[in-house]
Structure 1
Amino acid sequence: MTRRPPEEQLAELERKEAQLKARIQKKRAEVKSKNRRQDTRKKIIAGAIVLEHAEHDQFFANTLEKLLKKHVTRPEDRKLFDL
């Protein structure tokens, strides 16, 4: 069995390093995407609960409206809430 020259060994290690970095980057993107989906799902569920509760509790509805008026600033978002 012949040993490969150090230059070939280095090239092989660098190739493996590049492959590993690509796998790490891909896995990070998967984790980030999964976390974003979970965060969006939480917001949808919490928002649905808040809106339903506002239908049954006028004090809560008024408080929610005040919060929305104060914190929702983009015109298209304000329009969505009839502000």
Structure 2
Amino acid sequence: MAYRKKDPAESLEELKAKKAALRAQFDDKLGKLEREIKATEAKRRREEEKIRTRQKIIVGAVVLEHAERNPEWGRDLWDILNRAVTKPDQRKTLGLDDGSD
């Protein structure tokens, strides 16, 4: 069988097909990478929120302990909380009146 040189139209079609296949592979890999990035960012945000929540718990415990040991400071703290906390469920949790005086 003799070798036949491809005409430019055949070569062009082959190159276009190759380009389309590479583009599809690239798009697949890019999509996968973008999904991995989003998942990693979401995980990082969840971890940061866990740390922030833990910090709030620790700070709250220290502040409450200090309020118990220092009654005057504790009264000031409860005055601040009474003014600052407005949501009924949060007020109930803290044992503050419902504000319906």
TM-score (norm 2): 0.76
User: Root-mean-square deviation (CA), in Å?
Assistant: 1.2
Q: Shift of the alpha carbon at 1:76?
A: 1.0
Which residue is 2:90 aligned to?
77
Q: Which has the higher contact order (CA 8 A, sep 6+)?
A: 1
2:46 partner letter: S
Question: What residue ranges of structure 1 are gaps of 5+ in the alignment?
Answer: none
Question: What residue ranges of structure 2 are gaps of 5+ in the alignment?
Answer: 1-14, 97-101
1:56 partner letter: R
Q: Shift of the alpha carbon at 1:82?
A: 1.5
Q: Which of 22, 38, 52 is 2:35 aligned to?
A: 22
Which residue is 2:73 aligned to?
60
Q: Shift of the alpha carbon at 1:6?
A: 0.2
Q: Which runs of 4 or more aligned residues in structure 1 lie more than 4 Å from their structure 2 counterparts after TM superposition?
A: none
Q: Shift of the alpha carbon at 1:8?
A: 0.4
Q: Which of 10, 27, 31 is 2:44 aligned to?
A: 31
2:62 partner letter: I
The structure whose Rg is larger is: 2
Residue 5 (str. 1) matches residue 18 (str. 2): yes
Which segment is superposed worse, 59-68 or 41-50? 59-68
2:88 partner letter: P
- In structure 2, C-alpha distance between the alignment counterparts of 1:20 and 1:64, rounded to whole Å: 49
Q: How high is the sequence identity, in percent, across the aligned residues? A: 32
